[in-house]
Amino acid sequence: MDCQEANLWLDSMNHGDLTEPDSSELEGHLAKCSQCSLERDQARRLDVLLERASLGHFPEGFFDRQRQSVMARLGPELEWHAPPCSLLFLVMVIAGYFGGSIGPFMDSVLSFKSDLGAAWASVDEIAPLYGLLLLLAFGAVARDPDPEPVPVEVSQ
Amino acid sequence: MAEDLEQQVRLSQQGNRRAFEQLVGIFQKQVFFTVLRVVQDRHMADDVTQEVFIKAYRALPALQEPAYFKTWLLRIAMNRAIDQQRRSSREREQVFFFEEEPAGAGTECESLDRAPLAELGTALQEALASLPQKLRRVMALSLDGKLSHEEAGRILGCPAGTVKSRLHHARRQLREKLKRYL
Ligand SMILES: [Zn+2]
């Protein structure tokens, strides 16, 4: 093994990544080469120096504030998830529509008849219930759907 | 644990804010310190870190493999940090510090123990800053000590072998530049 090759292996040896027979060969070279031996010591000290270097201290709450700021900046987006109950309500509304009970009312709304009086006249008694179901459906869909997540601990 | 994490990523992909907030909590320090090593400015690192998580949240549905969330996130962070560092003309501030070792906890490294701590911080920062870009990036990731060569490679877009060889060159250059302290 020459000095150039030895130099290539120094970091691996210091980090415990070097296996036999390479490590014995390197040890042999270091025992008789003062230059490489010095470089090995310097490499070790560099590791110590890098390990001791800190990125300083941060005020208490720095990372809490950072996290809260991220969440606030994501904004109050409406999250459209469809829990089973809202789907059920929607199905009931659609069934009601095709069943004819609120069909005429919806028709008049959808065809932009401005004559509200005529529209309301076409509503039979059960229509308000469907309106309520429709509201419930969208109310349920638009609510915050997040279940409480299970805490995860990951070592940094 | 890795499965729990993947589950949090999947929930976040579906728009679950609380799950995403947990991910922020788990990774924010790693992202922040990686960015800080690149941009060398605390305020800028704070801004970039926040932007990284906001960008990640919006791009999250496109992430195919939840298991790669960490390297995917750090790649966003690295790219954003490099971009910011290029555009900024701000003076770098001191971000590396050395502290007094507790009595009796000497490093068995006299020259290091003797060096003035403030000077050591400046010297390390200057030595790192003088490395070629590619070597600086690999050092910014590896100083953390938490990433494998494979993970660093995924972040930097190169094979693990390239990471290893860049680290070797970076260390050699640092040894040369910091010789008087070693
Ligand atoms: Zn030699």
* Cβ pair B77, B24 in contact under 8 A: no
Does domain B2-87 sit in CATH 1.20.140.70? Answer: no
How much is the average pLDDT of B127-143? Answer: 92
Asked whether the predicted pLDDT for residue B57 surpasses 50, the reply is: yes
* Cβ pair A79, A147 in contact under 8 A: no
pLDDT at B178: 93
How much is the average pLDDT of B141-152? Answer: 89
* Cβ pair A134, A89 in contact under 8 A: yes
Backbone angles phi, psi at B97, to 5 degrees: -130, 155
Closest Cα to residue A151, out of B164, B85, B18?
Answer: B18
Is the pLDDT higher at B151 or at A17?
B151
Where do the CATH 1.10.1740.10 domains begin and end in chain B?
2-87
| Predicted confidence (pLDDT) per residue in B30-45, tens digit | 999 999 999 989 999 9
Backbone angles phi, psi at A101, to 5 degrees: -70, -35
Give the residues of chain A that fall short of pLDDT 70. 76-85, 99-128, 130, 138-156
Residue B68 tokens, joined: 């790669």
Contacts of B122 in chain A (CB under 8 A): none
pLDDT at A153: 52
In B72-131, the residues whose Cβ lies within 8 Å of chain A are 95-99, 101, 107, 109, 111-112, 120-121, 124
3-state secondary structure of B97: strand
Q: Is A75 on the interface with B (CB under 8 A)?
A: no
What number of C-beta contacts closer than 8 Å exist between A and B?
Answer: 121
Question: Distance (Å, rounded) from C-alpha B164 to C-alpha B179?
Answer: 22
Where do the CATH 1.10.10.10 domains begin and end in chain B?
109-177
Which residue, among B13, B29, B144, B176, would best test binding to A if mutated, counting the most A CBs under 10 Å from its CB? B29
Asked whether the predicted pLDDT for residue B106 surpasses 60, the reply is: no
Contacts of B150 in chain A (CB under 8 A): none
pLDDT at B24: 97
> Residue A20: how many CA atoms within 13 Å on its side-chain side?
0
pLDDT at A122: 59
Q: What pLDDT band is residue B9 in, cutting at 50, 70 and 90?
A: very high
Query: Helix A34-52 and helix A22-32: axis angle, to 10°?
Result: 110
The predicted model scores a pTM of 0.74
Question: Distance (Å, rounded) from C-alpha B78 to C-alpha B82?
Answer: 6
pLDDT at B12: 93
pLDDT at B104: 58
Query: A41 alpha carbon to ligand 1 midpoint, in Å?
Result: 13
Query: Helix B160-177 and helix A34-52: axis angle, to 10°?
Result: 100
How much is the average pLDDT of B124-140? Answer: 92
| Predicted confidence (pLDDT) per residue in B59-104, tens digit | 999 999 999 999 999 999 999 999 998 888 777 788 888 887 766 5
Query: Helix A3-14 and helix A34-52: axis angle, to 10°?
Result: 30
pLDDT at A155: 45
- What's the Cα-to-Cα distance from B35 to each of A15, B38, B39, B51, B104, rounded to whole Å? 25, 5, 6, 11, 34
Asked whether the beta carbons of residue B143 and residue A53 sit closer than 8 angstroms, the reply is: yes
Q: In whole numbers, what is the pLDDT of chain B averaged over residues? A: 89
Q: From the options 1.10.3720.10, 1.10.10.10, 2.40.10.120, 1.20.58.100, give the CATH code of B109-177.
A: 1.10.10.10
- What's the Cα-to-Cα distance from B158 to each of A117, B150, B161, rounded to whole Å? 71, 9, 8
